[in-house]
Amino acid sequence: MSLEVIGTYAVGISLLIGAGFALVGTIGLLKFNDSMTRLHAPTKVGTIGIGMLLLASMIHAFVFGDGSFHEVLIMAFLFVTAPISANFIAKVNIHRRSCETPPPPPQDDTWSTLNVPEADRELAAPEKG
């Protein structure tokens, strides 16, 4: 098998995987009930799907043409901006109170810190031996 045949199979497999992920992301976007659960489909699954489509484009460019690094820049931009935009959308939904808010944290000094409650100090102490 020549490099062109292997490249063609790699491009085909990448396109199928990317299209499958994009399809699952689209179905999830349409099927989920509220905006907070809808966030997962385009940001998680869609990013991987678009990444595979761009990978197919890169393989095709390097096997059959001169090669191109534009896709790497697109992937980097996509992987950086998708989580940030999802975070902003989630914050807007929480501030608008259009979703269930998480329960308030307990009122003590050990929640979300490295402080250990007095009752658990024995369990948290490293064993000497």
Please state which of the ranges 39-48, 53-62, 80-89, 118-127 shows the lowest mean pLDDT: 118-127
Please state which of the ranges 1-10, 11-20, 70-79, 92-101 shows the lowest mean pLDDT: 92-101
Enumerate the domain spans of the chain: 3-101
For residues 58 and 55, what is the distance between their CA atoms, to the nearest angstrom?
5
- Higher per-residue confidence, 84 vs 101: 84
H-assigned helices in the chain: 3-31, 35-38, 40, 46-64, 70-95, 121-124
Q: Whole-structure pTM over 0.75, yes or no?
A: no
Using CA of residue 81, residue 86, residue 92, residue 94, what is the dihedral sign?
negative
42-48 long-range contacts, CB within 8 A, separation 24+: 42/82, 43/82, 43/83, 43/85, 43/86, 45/21, 46/21, 46/22, 46/82, 47/78, 47/79, 47/82, 48/18, 48/21
For the segment 16-59, what is each residue's pLDDT rounded down to a tens digit?
Answer: 999 998 888 888 888 888 777 777 777 777 788 888 999 999 99
